Structure 1
Amino acid sequence: MNKQVEIGNTGLRVTPIGFGANTIGAHNLFENIDEEVSRETLRVALQDGVDFFDSAFMYGLGRSEELIGEILAGTGRRSEVVLATKAAHIVTDASVKLDNSPAFLEKSVDIALERLRTDYIDLFYIHFPDGVTPPAEAVGALQRLKEAGKIRAIGVSNFSVDALRAANQDGYVDVVQDRYSLVYPELEADMIPYCIEQGISFIPYTPLASGLLTGKFTAQNPPQDFRKDRPHFQGQAYLDTVAKVTSLQELADRHHVSIANIVLATTLGIDGIDVVIPGAKSPAQVRANMQTLNAALTNEEIASVRALFK
Structure 2
Amino acid sequence: MTKHVQLGKSELYVNPIGLGTNAVGGHNLYPNLDEEAGKDLVRTALNHGINFLDTAFIYGPERSEELIGEVMKEEGKRKEAILATKGAHKFVDGEVVMDNSPEFLTKSVEDSLKRLQTDYIDLYYIHFPDKDTLKAEAVGALSRLKEQGKIRAIGVSNFSLEQLKDANKDGYVDVFQGEYNLLQREAEKDLLPYVSEHNISFIPYFPLASGLLAGKYTEHMTFDDLRKNMPHFQGATFKDNLAKVDQVRKIADAKGTEVAHVVLAWYLTRDGVDAVIPGAKRADQVLNNLKTLDVSLTQAEIEEIDHIFR
CA deviation after TM superposition for structure 1 residue 195, in Å: 0.7
Q: 8 Å contact 1:217–1:223 — kept in the other structure?
A: no
Three-state SS of the structure 1 residue aligned to 2:53 is: strand
Q: Please give the alpha-carbon distance, in whole angstroms, between the structure 2 residues aligned to 1:228 and 1:27.
A: 18
> Which residue in 2 is equivalent to 1:191?
191
Superposed CA deviations along residues 225-265 of structure 1, whole A, max 9, x for unmatched, are 33232222113222111011012222212322210111101
Q: Please give the alpha-carbon distance, in whole angstroms, between the structure 2 residues aligned to 1:244 and 1:223.
A: 20
TM-score normalised by L of structure 1? 0.97
CA deviation after TM superposition for structure 1 residue 93, in Å: 5.7
Superposed CA deviations along residues 132-167 of structure 1, whole A, max 9, x for unmatched, are 111110000001111111111100001011111111
> Which residue in 1 is equivalent to 2:200?
200
Aligned residue identity for 2:301: E
CA deviation after TM superposition for structure 1 residue 224, in Å: 4.5
TM-score normalised by L of structure 2? 0.97
Q: 8 Å contact 2:30–2:225 — kept in the other structure?
A: no
1:6 equivalent to 2:39? Answer no
Aligned residue identity for 1:279: G
Q: Which aligned pairs between 1:9-158 and structure 2 lie closer than 5 A?
A: 9-92=9-92, 94-158=94-158
> Which residue in 1 is equivalent to 2:242?
242
Aligned residue identity for 2:82: V
CA deviation after TM superposition for structure 1 residue 130, in Å: 0.9
> Which residue in 2 is equivalent to 1:277?
277
Q: Please give the alpha-carbon distance, in whole angstroms, between the structure 2 residues aligned to 1:154 and 1:77.
A: 22
Three-state SS of the structure 2 residue aligned to 1:97 is: strand
Aligned residue identity for 2:141: A
Aligned residue identity for 2:37: V
Q: Structure 1 residue runs of 4+, over 3 Å off?
A: 222-226
Q: 8 Å contact 2:19–2:278 — kept in the other structure?
A: yes
Q: Please give the alpha-carbon distance, in whole angstroms, between the structure 1 residues aligned to 2:66 and 2:288.
A: 25
Three-state SS of the structure 2 residue aligned to 1:293 is: helix
Three-state SS of the structure 2 residue aligned to 1:58 is: coil
Change (3 A) 1:107 1:35: same
Please say which of residues 246-255 and 271-280 is displaced more in the overlay. 246-255
Q: Please give the alpha-carbon distance, in whole angstroms, between the structure 1 residues aligned to 2:196 and 2:222.
A: 36
Q: Please give the alpha-carbon distance, in whole angstroms, between the structure 2 residues aligned to 1:27 and 1:231.
A: 23
Q: Please give the alpha-carbon distance, in whole angstroms, between the structure 2 residues aligned to 1:13 and 1:126.
A: 20
Aligned residue identity for 1:273: V
Superposed CA deviations along residues 28-49 of structure 1, whole A, max 9, x for unmatched, are 1110010011111111111221
Aligned residue identity for 1:158: N
Q: Please give the alpha-carbon distance, in whole angstroms, between the structure 2 residues aligned to 1:126 and 1:190.
A: 20
Superposed CA deviations along residues 49-70 of structure 1, whole A, max 9, x for unmatched, are 1100000000111111111111
CA deviation after TM superposition for structure 1 residue 119, in Å: 1.1
Q: Please give the alpha-carbon distance, in whole angstroms, between the structure 1 residues aligned to 2:157 and 2:49.
A: 26
> Which residue in 2 is equivalent to 1:259?
259
CA deviation after TM superposition for structure 1 residue 222, in Å: 4.6
Three-state SS of the structure 2 residue aligned to 1:123 is: strand
Please say which of residues 247-256 and 93-102 is displaced more in the overlay. 247-256
Percentage of matched positions with identical amino acids: 54
Q: 8 Å contact 2:39–2:67 — kept in the other structure?
A: yes
Q: How many pairs are equivalent?
A: 310
**Structure 2: gaps spanning 5 or more residues:** none
Root-mean-square deviation (CA, aligned residues, Å) is: 1.3
